[in-house]
Structures are given as structure tokens and as C-alpha cells.
Chain A
Amino acid sequence: MHVLLNDEERLLAESVFQQARDLGAATPGEFRAYDDSKLWAALAAMDVLGLGLPASVGGVGTILDAAIVAMSLGRALAPVSYLGGGVLPGQLLVAAGAGPDLIEEVVTGARRFAVGIDPVTHTIAGKSSSEALAWDSAGAEAALVLDGDGVGRLVAVSLESASVGLDLTREVRRCVLGDRIHVEGLAGSDGGLRPTDLARWEALALTLLSADMVGVMEGALRLGVEHVTTRQQFGVSIGTFQALQHLLAEQQVSIEGARATTFFAAWAIENRPGEATLGAHTAKAYCSEHGRRVCEAVLQVHGGMGMTWECFAHGFLKRLLSDRSALGDERRHYRIIAASQRSVRREEALSGLRR
């Protein structure tokens, strides 16, 4: 057993973070009009869009690497559709057996797609869906949804133009389910997505969303710590007050728990598939609940400044809330965990009776 990042992984985290900070928004006021093309090109040049894909389709690295990149982008509050417009549709296309040319265009960043999620079922929209949202869809030309329900071939549908969303750093757009768009190579050669492919993709999506949240928490807490260290009241830095020290210490504890569950979930997808789904629900639930609290605490320690647009604190909170809502918040995942353990017990009881 060895569960710490190695030197290359730490280097990857740092270099992505530096790029994102150099090319990202310098002030919160810049988010609304931000053009992500430079940052997108930089990510493509760093070869991180295909992380965790099989080498046969041009992929390099591991899903853990993709999680590390997502963490760094969250930490830097990077306004770029790395997950929703890059890794998640890329993984979906490969799982559904899309043509190699199309996959290559996605892995190299030449074309961006998004994934249409049914806001009721919190899974990829399909035949029975009445609406679908494309989360983190900046730059995407269309959304991918399923022809059937939970299985089947992928089809592309058009996207409405972006409204001014809650998250300053990513777009959430509505899909026009009735408006199909032809995309060459999308149909693929076999029957499309199988239930096991969908389960794996969902575990992966939940895990990478968790990774983004871990990064957001880290970035937010860093901001909070810097603020309380420099801000003076009563003649001392407010970071000397135990009330604030304990509030921030609790957030550090949450972050370490969040990071640990996320790393395990990322590792399990490739190395212990039988535990991947439960690990992903655990990470997504934990990060959603605690991430929100971390960002709220950081807002609080900023006092009145935390309520102003020019302070980055709200950027972290809003991105966290967006990650949290995508594919369901902690309540959904806690219930899924409980249901899974109930059925494990029931199976055991039944097999005991048979014996």
C-alpha cells in the first residue's frame, strides 16, 4: 500500500495550476467576458484532455491524473470547460465506440462537445427525458445524449445560448432535445453504450466533479487563511482569534477527508472496478456537503468584503454549488449509499437462509 502522490503527479498538479493562474481571470470582474481559448489551447498542448483514455485512442496517463488536473483547475478557479467540454464527453465517446477521427478531434481539443444530463434522474438524458442540461459546456458545439434510456447509441442535440449562470467560471446551458445534429463518426460501429459503460462513466464523472470541488475548497481556504492573517482588528491580526482558528481548522479537516475519498475513487475506477461506484458516490457526497461549508466559512471570515463582487470568495462558493448540483447533491448520494448497503445486507441474509 502506498497512497501518496508521486513526484510526477505533484509536478502535473503544480504546472496545471500555474498555467491556469497565469491565463485565468485576474479579478472576479473579468469572469463574465472571459475568453477561454488561450487556456483551452494550453491544456490541449499539455496533453491533459485525453488523460485516462486508452492509448489506442491517443490517451495518456490515468484517471487519477485527470483528477489531479481537475483539482488544480478548481484551486485556480479556472474558467475553462476541462471537465464538461473535454474529459467527460471524451470518455463517453470512447465508451460508446465513436469513430477514431472524432475522438482524436476531442482529445486534441480541436472540437468540444458537452454531455446532456437529465435534471430529474441525474444521469445522461435519453429517450424518456423531457429536458436536459449541459453542465460546463463553454465552447461546445452540441450536447451528447442517448438514443435509448441508460443504454444505446449517442446522438448530438443543439444547445441553447448561455444565460448568465450562477457559476462565474463555467456555463450551464439547456439542450434542445428535439433538434438533432449530425456528427460524423458519432454513431460508432457497435451498439453504443452498455449499462456497464454507463456505470463506469458515471463513477468517473462523479469522481472528477469531486476533484474539482477539492480544488475549489483548497483555493478557498488558502484565500481565507491569507485574509485572516493580514486583516487587523482590535490591534491584532484576526487570525489569532481562536473562534476563527477553529472554524478554519475544521475546514482543513474537511478538505483532507474530501481529498482522501476523491483519490481513492479515482484510483478505484482503473484498479478496483468493483468498488468504483460506491467510492464515487462517497466522494461526491462528502465533497458536496463539506465543500459548501468550506466556502461558506471562507465567505464568513472575510466579513463584509466577502459579500462584495471584487472578492474571489463568492467565485469559489458559486463554483462549488455548481459542482455540487451536477449529477445530484449529497442527499442523493447518501441515499444511494444507504440503498446499496441495505441490499448488501439483504443478499447476505438471503444467502444465510439458503445455507
Chain B
Amino acid sequence: MGTRIEMVAVSRPVIPFVSTGSIPLAVRAAKRCLREAGIDPGKLELLIYTGIYPDDYLGEPAIAAIIQKKIGANPQLLNNHEINREMAGSTFSFDLNNGGCGLVNGIQIVDGFIRSGSIQCGMVITGDSEPVRGLSDSFNFSHAGAAIILSKSSTGEGFTHFKTETYPLHENAFTSRLAFDSKREGRKMHKLLFVKQEKSYLDLCINCTMNSLNRFLQDAGLELQEVDLMITSQSPEGFALRLKERLNLGDRIVTLNGKPEAELHTVGLAFALRKAWVDNRFIQARNILFLTVGSGITTALSLYRNRN
């Protein structure tokens, strides 16, 4: 028994480059995903949101709970006081934060609960948006949302390996922090989201990824030549293209050309998956490698096997 990808969907602002917030974008992607998969939201038993920058600096509740309500996934208990009833038809939601690797970590958690038989179906959602418009320094990520539905597979396809690693030497190579803007002292003070990226960050990400990739392939007993399709982060900018050149993968790695796709942050992996899904490369591949990189520096890899 494994965990199969039931559907992937993405969303962008209706008016290009004008954000409507990460929550509406994530909700739109989630609804699209459910609709295209033909799945009732009430079937979702676990919902994990892996975006990083909450609209209007929300701290609680979890954004996943707000999305759960907006998509109508068991927002309340039915027959509240029939206390001998089963708790069937309930959804549990929470947020997971791990930079650009959160989506793969979220998939790993849903996969685990499906494998252990605790749930049948779950969704991992993410969204990127400037929390408060205009109040950030160097926030260059595209505004977008994405959702992936995962369900129990009885026919053999699914995820087989996961591996997450960190590189402590580079923990501050990419940081984002919410703090007062000291440059505005004396004027009307307000908080800014400061995003800082070392000039060498892309190189560091590539180097860390290469190390993690070698170990991962060894653990999975796989040669690089046996990877039919590689779906990767799209952040930092140029990451997928550099990896394509470095590994000489040709069309076996999904790259998204041109803006705004090039700056996709936590949603990047899902956008690449969607592209491979639509052009049938995903369904035709046997060994599919998911590879993410993010602040920390953290790498998270996963192997998915199709039946063919």
C-alpha cells in the first residue's frame, strides 16, 4: 500500500502581479484541485498548509484551519450531542514551516498517516504572498497558491523514500524576519518583512543539493540515469536551470521558463508538478524524483514510483 498523488492544482492572482493574499490563492488552488480530482472536501481527513508568510502577519489560528473552513472540509461536527457516534467525517488541520522544503515534509506526513492506516485522503496546500502589500524589503516571490491531494493507493504506485538534510554552516545564507524598520526612525514607524539572501546562496543551494542527491540515490538504490523525471524547487531563482546543466538531465527535469514562474517560492515544486501533469510527462515516467531546497540550508528529497 502506498500514497498516490490524486491531483495537483495551482493558482495565480486574477490580475497579474496584484496579490489577493496567500489565503485566497491557496483556497482557489485547493478548490480547483478538489474539483479536478472529483473529490468531496468532506473526504479530506488531514490538511497541512506549508506557506511561510501569513496574510496580515496572522499568528493564530493556523492558516490551514481558515482554508479548511473556506473549502468546506468538515467545518463542524454533525449530530453534535450524539455521543456514541464515531468521529467519522472530521478533518484535522495544521501549518508546517520549513522554508522551500515544507511541501515535501507535508507530503511525507500525509504519506505516513495514510501508510499507517490512520487516514485515507489528505491535502497539502501552500501559498506565497507579501503579508502586507508594500511593507517588505526584498520580497521578490511571485504571488501564487498550490494544492496537492494525496490518497491511499492499492495498485502499487506512490512514494517510497523521503530524506531531509540540513547544512548548519549556511543557516543564515537566507533569512526572513519581521522587525521594525530602523531606517524610518523619527518618521512613522512600522514593521517590515526583511528578506536577506547571500550572493552565493544559489551556488550553496546547488552544492548542498548535489551532496544530498548523491546520498539519497544511494539510500534508494537508484542511479541518476534511472530517474525518469525530476521535479524541483524553482527558488532560488535559476535553481532548476542550474541543476539541469549540472546534472545534464535534458528534458528529464521540469523547468519553468520566464517570469513570474522563475521566482516561485514554496509553490515552485507544485507548479513544476502541474506542468509535468498537464503535458503527461508525470504519468509516463516510472521513477520520479522530487527535490526541494530552502533556507537552513535544507534539502528534502522524495522518490515516487508510477506503476508503468
Instruction: Please say whether chains A and B are actual partners in one complex.
Output: no
| A residues neighboring B (CB under 8 Å) | none
